[in-house]
């Protein structure tokens, strides 16, 4: 045997063992896929590009990182040896794929998507690094088919820099060279006259043919993909006029606009900043200041919505007891139409004054930096406690335990008339206070708009709300035909008056329940004890009134009544129900039908990252509309089944007590109060805002649609 033959055999064996171990391409049905290397191996701790090669059947396509109006990007899950790592996909420039009214971005024919693979630093020459990639494709033509492949590649570890792979080295290098890269390009964007203007300038754009320029955004919500992009050439760059997408329409514009700008046959990564056009591009003015979502409403429309919301607010169950009580007082006037009209006007004045006072309080608190909204007063446990005792006192008055405003029989008729007008004013004020937990249709956008405007505009909207709220009762007082049809004054009124006490007892009980959601058992015990003391004070006041009416000495009973009333109020206001004794929001047990989790921004982000549909219920114990929806729609078997079927997660954002995160989310969606229902689809994107009044069918259908949007 010639002496050189063993050396030749050894050299051949070295070449053979250094070649990567290629696995055969995997046919997934409508494409074949494989892993192909840039070089014939990798040095210890070195990096090599391994590309996912797709050979796609004719008439079919896969998708880019932003798939456009539909579709889903190709995904790779790597299994690597200890110490090895994989980088992100280096995406090839996409192609536009119009499909009916949609525009998608992706690939046809053959495409290579390189990924940087770093070998373990402790790898030894002569070993192999085994790569495994589980790849998920969405392959589409007239229909879309999800397809999967498990791909493998064995990379030899070499002592030094490995040579290029003879078959795939050049194609992988070409794919890396063609991939979009940052360049010396300055870009800016702004929304002008409803159009998104994207201006770019720099040496790579100077003197090129920009007729084919196109911007592919990384985000799927910033542009309307299906609309054309008009091109305006500048001396050293260009400006694209693009139809803005969902994010800009809903005041969720990104801080920067990132994507791929294709121009002159090349693709560049750009990240445009908000602002005027850079020098050399076509003109672009400064962007308008960002406006809240509801800012497009305008004062006239906001005031109209507020007026309509005020009208509807009269139908809310929280207002019924007070209005019924006032209706009974109108019936007591019989044919005295002038007295009824005065009461109607004064009632309206009480409504307006209280709404404006609430607006002033909200404006002052927001100016001081507090995160508050409609119904903010019921987030304070002392306020809720005092209102509960006030409702109890009104109920005891209607029951005849004592008489508000009665005095000696010798008081003149003029004082009695004045007393009636004062009562009408404070009845209007009381009606507004108990109506605060309710948010009627039309109110939400109007109040959301008002809280983002100047104090004068906000006060105007609240005045319209007060007019709408007080208008029905005032109109009733001014229509003699309606008043004349009411029953004549008589003994029946005493029984009717006592009957009206029970809705007020119910209102007091409801407020105690609200308080129980805000405090610990000790706080609940204080309000119950205070209720007993205040009731005893009312009974003593009744004794004093009856003794005074009979001419007997009433001072001891009257003083005792004042003392006990002060003790009752002091027992609930003095402790202040501080945060240390308050229960955490969302701590109440979940519904047996639909389990929920307490809302936090972090938990919402986790669930969205997992690709799950998420239903967020912004609610409060003092929100009557919220509680009605809870019972009528959200605690039904059909909705419970829909949650199970879709795998949706129910998050409850409880605003019973102050919560800055919840207040910020409400403001972001143009709302000043609850309820607000947001449904995030499984496939990502912006949430769908559900109506304020829910039905089981509406919720179930929305959940099904949200789960179906995963692809």
Structure confidence by residue, pLDDT tens digits, 365-389: 555 444 445 454 555 677 677 767 7
Residue 63 sits at φ, ψ, to 5 deg, of -125, 150
Domain count for the chain, please give it.
4
Q: Phi then psi for 60, rounded to 5 degrees?
A: -115, 165
Last residue of a domain, one of 474, 498, 522: 498
Cis amide linkage into residue 581, ω under 30° from 0: no
Q: Could you tell me if 243 and 282 lie in one domain?
A: yes
**Is 216 in the same domain as 122?**
no
Q: Give the percent of the chain with pLDDT over 90.
A: 26
What is the three-class DSSP state of 195? strand
Residue 514 covered by a domain: no
User: For position 170, what pLDDT does the model report?
Assistant: 94
Let me know if residue 391 belongs to a domain. no
In whole angstroms, give the CA distance from residue 402 to residue 399.
8
Pair 241, 271 in one domain: yes
Q: Who's near 680: CB < 8 A, 6+ residues apart? A: 604, 607, 608, 613, 614, 615, 616, 687, 688, 706
Residue 706's contacts (CB-CB under 8 Å, 6 or more residues apart) are: 613, 615, 646, 648, 679, 680, 681, 682, 688
- What's the CATH number where 40 sits? 2.60.40.10
Residue with tokens 């005027």: 276
Which of 290, 312, 330 is the C-terminal boundary of a domain?
A: 290
The answer to whether position 653 is within a domain reads: yes
Residue 188 has a pLDDT of 92
As given in the structure block, the two tokens for residue 58 are: 């004719």
Whether residues 310 and 453 share a domain: the answer is yes
Written as six digits, the tokens of 634 are 């959200």
Pair (421, 461) in one structural domain: yes
Residue 697 backbone class (left: φ over 0; alpha: ψ -120 to 50; beta: rest)? alpha
**Is 465 inside any structural domain?**
yes
Looking from the CA of 549 toward its CB, the CA atoms found within 13 Å total 12
Residue 284 sits in the same domain as residue 299? no
Task: Identify the DSSP state of 491.
Answer: T
State whether 467 and 361 are in the same domain.
Answer: yes
Q: What is the 3-state secondary structure (H, E, C) of 173-189?
A: HHHHHHCCEECCEEEEE
Strands 26-27 and 95-99: what pairing? unpaired
For the chain, which ranges sit under pLDDT 50? 1, 4, 6-17, 285-296, 334, 368-372, 374, 376, 405-419, 437, 439-441, 573-592, 711
4 inside domain: no
CATH number at residue 602: 3.40.30.10
On whether both 368 and 279 belong to a single domain, the answer is no
Judge whether 307 and 440 are in contact, CB under 8 Å.
no
217 and 306 both lie in a single domain: no
Do 463 and 331 lie in a common domain?
yes
The domain spanning residue 273 has which CATH number? Answer: 2.60.40
> Does the residue 5 lie in any domain?
no
Judge whether 225 lies within some domain: yes
Contact partners, residue 262, CB within 8 Å, separation at least 6: 93, 212, 213, 214, 215, 216, 268
Same domain, 488 and 411: yes
Residues 429 and 350 sit within 8 Å (Cβ to Cβ): yes
Same domain, 246 and 162: no
Give the H or E element holding residue 703.
helix 696-708
Instruction: Tell me which residue of 203, 201, 262 sits closest to 233, measured CA to CA.
Output: 201
* DSSP-assigned letter for residue 377: G
Domain residues for the domain of 678 are 597-708
Sheet containing 102-107: which strands, arranged edge to edge? Answer: 62-68, 102-107, 95-99
What are the Cα distances from residue 365, in Å, to 131, 207, 360, 361, 451? 60, 57, 9, 6, 11
Q: Which of 265, 290, 315 is the last residue of a domain?
A: 290
| Residue 634 belongs to some domain of the structure | yes
């Amino acid at each position: 045997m010639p002496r050189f033959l063993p050396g030749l055999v050894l050299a051949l064996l070295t070449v053979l063992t250094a070649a990567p171990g290629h696995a055969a391409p995997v046919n997934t049905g409508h494409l074949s896929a494989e892993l192909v290397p840039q070089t014939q191996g990798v040095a210890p701790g070195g990096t090599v590009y391994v590309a996912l090669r797709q050979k796609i059947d004719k008439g079919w396509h896969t998708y880019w990182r932003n798939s456009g109006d539909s579709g889903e990007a190709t995904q790779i899950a790597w299994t690597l040896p200890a110490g090895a790592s994989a980088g992100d996909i280096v995406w090839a420039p996409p192609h536009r794929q119009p499909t009916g009214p949609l525009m998608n971005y992706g690939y046809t024919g053959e495409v290579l998507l390189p990924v940087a693979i770093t070998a373990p630093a402790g790898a030894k020459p002569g070993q192999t690094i085994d790569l495994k990639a589980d790849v998920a494709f969405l392959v589409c033509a007239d229909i879309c088919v999800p397809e999967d492949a498990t791909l493998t590649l064995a990379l030899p570890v070499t002592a030094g820099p490995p040579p290029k792979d003879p078959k795939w080295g050049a194609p992988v290098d070409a794919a890396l060279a063609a991939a979009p890269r940052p360049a010396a390009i300055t870009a800016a964007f702004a929304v002008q006259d409803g159009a998104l203007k994207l201006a770019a300038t720099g040496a790579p754009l100077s003197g090129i043919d920009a007729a084919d320029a196109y911007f592919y955004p990384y985000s799927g919500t910033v542009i309307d993909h299906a609309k054309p992009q008009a091109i305006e050439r500048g001396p050293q760059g260009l400006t694209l006029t693009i139809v803005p997408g969902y994010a800009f329409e809903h005041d969720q514009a990104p801080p920067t606009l990132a994507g791929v700008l294709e121009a002159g046959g090349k693709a560049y990564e750009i990240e445009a900043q908000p602002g005027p056009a850079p020098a050399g591009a076509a003109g672009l003015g400064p962007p308008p200041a960002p406006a809240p979502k509801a800012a497009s409403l305008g004062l006239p429309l906001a005031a109209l919505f507020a007026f309509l919301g005020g009208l509807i607010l009269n139908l809310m169950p929280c207002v019924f007891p007070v209005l019924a009580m006032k209706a009974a007082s109108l019936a007591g006037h019989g044919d005295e139409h002038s007295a009824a009209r005065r009461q109607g006007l004064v009632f309206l004045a009480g409504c307006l004054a209280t709404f404006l006072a609430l607006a002033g309080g909200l404006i002052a608190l927001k100016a001081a930096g507090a995160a508050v909204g409609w119904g903010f007063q019921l987030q304070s446990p002392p306020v809720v406690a005092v209102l509960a005792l006030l409702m109890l006192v009104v109920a005891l008055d209607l029951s005849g335990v004592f008489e508000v405003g009665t005095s000696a029989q010798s008081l003149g008729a003029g004082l009695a008339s004045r007393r009636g007008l004062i009562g009408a004013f404070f009845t209007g004020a009381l009606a507004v206070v108990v109506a605060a937990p309710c948010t009627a249709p039309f109110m939400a956008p109007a109040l959301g708009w008002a809280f983002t405007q100047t104090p004068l505009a906000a006060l105007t909207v609240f005045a319209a709300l007060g007019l709408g709220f007080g208008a029905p009762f005032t109109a009733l007082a001014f229509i003699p035909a309606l008043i004349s049809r009411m029953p004549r004054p008589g003994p029946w009124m005493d029984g009717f008056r006592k009957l009206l006490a029970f809705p007020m007892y119910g209102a007091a009980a409801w407020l105690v329940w609200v308080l129980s959601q805000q405090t610990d058992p000790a706080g609940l015990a204080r309000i119950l004890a205070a209720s007993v003391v205040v009731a005893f004070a009312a009974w003593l006041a009744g004794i004093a009134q009856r003794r005074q009416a009979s001419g007997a000495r009433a001072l001891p009973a009257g003083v005792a009544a004042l003392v006990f009333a002060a003790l009752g109020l002091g027992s609930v206001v003095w402790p202040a129900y501080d945060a240390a004794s308050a229960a955490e929001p969302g701590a109440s047990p979940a519904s047996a039908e639909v389990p929920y989790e307490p809302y936090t921004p972090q938990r919402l982000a986790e669930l969205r990252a997992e690709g799950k549909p998420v239903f967020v219920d912004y609610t409060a114990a003092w929100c009557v509309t919220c509680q009605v929806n809870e019972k009528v729609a959200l605690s039904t078997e059909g909705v419970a089944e829909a949650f199970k079927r879709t795998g949706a997660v129910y998050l409850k954002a409880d605003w019973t007590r102050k919560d800055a995160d919840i207040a910020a989310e409400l403001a972001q969606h143009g709302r000043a109060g609850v309820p607000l229902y947001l449904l995030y689809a499984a496939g990502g994107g912006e949430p769908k805002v559900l109506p304020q009044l829910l039905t089981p069918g509406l919720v179930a259908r929305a959940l099904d649609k949200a789960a179906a949007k995963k692809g």
